Amino acid sequence: MNSTPKAVCLLSGGMDSAVTLAEARAKGREVYALSFQYGQRHQIELEAAARVAHEGGAAEWRTVTLDLAALGGSSLTDDLPVPKDRAQEDIGQGVPSTYVPARNTVFLSVALGWAEILGADEIFLGVNAVDYSGYPDCRPEFLRAFEEMAQLATAAGTESGTRVHIRAPLLNLDKAAIVRRAAELGVDLGLTHTCYDPVLKGDLHLACGRCDACRLRLKGFKEAGGSDPLPYAEQP
Amino acid sequence: MNSTPKAVCLLSGGMDSAVTLAEARAKGREVYALSFQYGQRHQIELEAAARVAHEGGAAEWRTVTLDLAALGGSSLTDDLPVPKDRAQEDIGQGVPSTYVPARNTVFLSVALGWAEILGADEIFLGVNAVDYSGYPDCRPEFLRAFEEMAQLATAAGTESGTRVHIRAPLLNLDKAAIVRRAAELGVDLGLTHTCYDPVLKGDLHLACGRCDACRLRLKGFKEAGGSDPLPYAEQP
């Protein structure tokens, strides 16, 4: 019998979830990586997630199709324009238009179902300090409330079964700290994908360098004193 | 400007959610009905949901695809056998194999996202007393915890915005009471679908009459002193 503790890890293909997977592995967990095809515009996010799961040593990687676009309401699933060239101080203020309503709640709920099937008692996700100022479902009080709810939602909660814990190891890190942590854990950030609005050049998708996600990522590398291995269409 | 209060209502196509939709309408809500294509084996559930939404006066009906079957773990999405001919006293004891892990949590989470988009402050769902003894995510304490979590999950929760309330008007009713309530509200239960394992006869899908869902439904009609308008392959 395999007694390695199992954990489900939400994997977007971005930098944060790649480092989160590495944190779970570094803690000795057998990691079950979970990605979503949720009507987002970019298949390349899922390709990045596949690379990260494989290189990051996940025991399994599953993709769940979830057609959130059917409900509309966000520029990541709709055809609304992605905000560009926003001043650094505006990023993380208010709820951005790239917020998909209740997305983390939905993703964590599906992860909870898989955790129950697997007998995993931890769910890792890569939310962090930069994100949670703008996205309500990235706040620590939300994660605690989700854990409380999860305790009552599952069959495990009705028996002597284990409680599922929500782990957000990057919660108090900024992007620069995450870049440094990636280096410590040996995560190849060149495998990840961050851009909200990639630019096709020949066969290659280049990061735009101008959306909020690119700007935060580039700022993180700059502050950490490293250089981003990803190709960019332009850099501010 | 339309000031009719909006509500999202989870709609499975079964008896309970049909009556729940009618309760929301009777309370004067503009109802947005939400169904899921979640890898369940029977498309006829969705056909029933479409009929119920239309006849029940929903303002809109949307179906979200959610491939929970990708995670396995239940006889409603897997090819495990559906329990048959169980004694009445065994139904609702323990967690049945038809439990889809965290299903209500996932459905409520998607409903929460839609509620946020619509500006709806209520989510109706048809859980009831007979179900919640067996399914952990049908218990009232789960619904309360979900509401707490929802308050923190949404953009509404971060502003002066309205709190989303979870409404389960059938929570304390048994099947007989639900059959009576359907009659009071003018719900045609012949539009609904309940059976876990329908039998194809010619072009018609007949309810099996033997799975837990059929047996509870038939018992409800018997106790309410009515007769079920649905055709059955056999009745115990």
Task: Give me the pLDDT at residue B66, please.
Answer: 87
Nearest to A149 among B68, B99, B146 (CB): B146
Q: A43-57, A217-231, B96-110: lowest mean pLDDT where?
A: B96-110
Dihedral angle computed from the Cα positions of residues A110, A197, A142 and B5, in that order, rounded to the nearest 10 degrees: -90
Inside any domain, residue A143: yes
Task: Give me the pLDDT at residue A160, please.
Answer: 45
Inside any domain, residue A207: no
Predicted confidence band at B101 (pLDDT cuts at 50, 70, 90)? confident
**B236 vs B219: which has the higher pLDDT:** B219
Yes or no: say if B192 and B182 are a contact pair by the CB < 8 Å rule: no
Structural tokens at position B163: 């709190």
Q: If you average pLDDT over residues B184-209, what whole number do you get?
A: 91
Distances (CA, A) of B3 to A197, B9, B86: 37, 18, 48
**A83 vs B78: which has the higher pLDDT:** A83
Task: Give me the pLDDT at residue A66, please.
Answer: 87
**Is the reported ipTM for this assembly greater than 0.90?**
no
A65 contacts in B (CB within 8 Å)? 65-67, 70
Q: If you average pLDDT over residues A195-219, what whole number do you get?
A: 89
Inside any domain, residue A224: no
Task: Give me the pLDDT at residue B112, please.
Answer: 94
Q: How would you class B60 by CB atoms within 10 Å of its CB: exposed for 0-12, middle for 13-18, buried for 19 or more?
A: middle
Nearest to B105 among A62, A63, A153 (CB): A153
Q: If you average pLDDT over residues B59-78, what whole number do you get?
A: 77
Q: If you average pLDDT over residues B58-77, what whole number do you get?
A: 79
Residue B95 clears pLDDT 60, i.e. is over it: no
Chain A, nearest residue to B149 by Cα? A145
Nearest to B65 among A67, A114, A142 (CB): A67
Q: If you average pLDDT over residues B1-26, what whole number do you get?
A: 93
Yes or no: say if B112 and B153 are a contact pair by the CB < 8 Å rule: yes
Residue A116 clears pLDDT 50, i.e. is over it: yes
Q: pLDDT above 90 covers what percent of chain A? A: 57
Q: Give me the number of domains chain B comprises.
A: 1
B102 contacts in A (CB within 8 Å)? 109-110, 112-113, 116, 153-154
Range(s) of the domain holding residue A127? 6-187
Task: Give me the pLDDT at residue B160, please.
Answer: 45
Predicted confidence band at B102 (pLDDT cuts at 50, 70, 90)? confident
Task: Give me the pLDDT at residue B182, please.
Answer: 97
Nearest to A72 among B65, B117, B152 (CB): B117
Chain B, nearest residue to A145 by Cα? B149
Inside any domain, residue B174: yes
Inside any domain, residue B95: yes
Q: What is the CATH number of the domain that holds B163?
A: 3.40.50.620
Inside any domain, residue A113: yes
pLDDT one-digit tens code per residue, B20-59:
999 999 999 999 999 998 876 678 889 999 999 999 999 9
* E-state strands within chain B: 6-10, 30-37, 60-65, 122-124, 165-167, 199-201, 204-206
Q: A131-145, A148-162, A219-233, B13-27: lowest mean pLDDT where?
A: A148-162
Residue A73 clears pLDDT 90, i.e. is over it: no
* Residue A151 Cα, gap to closest chain B Cα (Å): 9
Interface test mutation site (partner A, options B36, B95, B110, B133, max chain A beta carbons within 10 A): B110
Dihedral angle computed from the Cα positions of residues B180, B186, B187 and B191, in that order, rounded to the nearest 10 degrees: 120
The average confidence (pLDDT) of chain A is 85
**B159 vs B167: which has the higher pLDDT:** B167
* E-state strands within chain A: 6-10, 30-37, 60-65, 122-124, 165-167, 199-201, 204-206
Residue A85 clears pLDDT 80, i.e. is over it: no
Tell me the pTM: 0.87
Q: pLDDT above 70 covers what percent of chain B? A: 81
**Rounded Cα gap, residues A21 and B74, in angstroms:** 27
Inside any domain, residue A234: no
Inside any domain, residue A212: no
Q: If you average pLDDT over residues A44-53, what whole number do you get?
A: 93
Which of A80, A51, A88 shows the shortest CA–CA distance to A213? A88
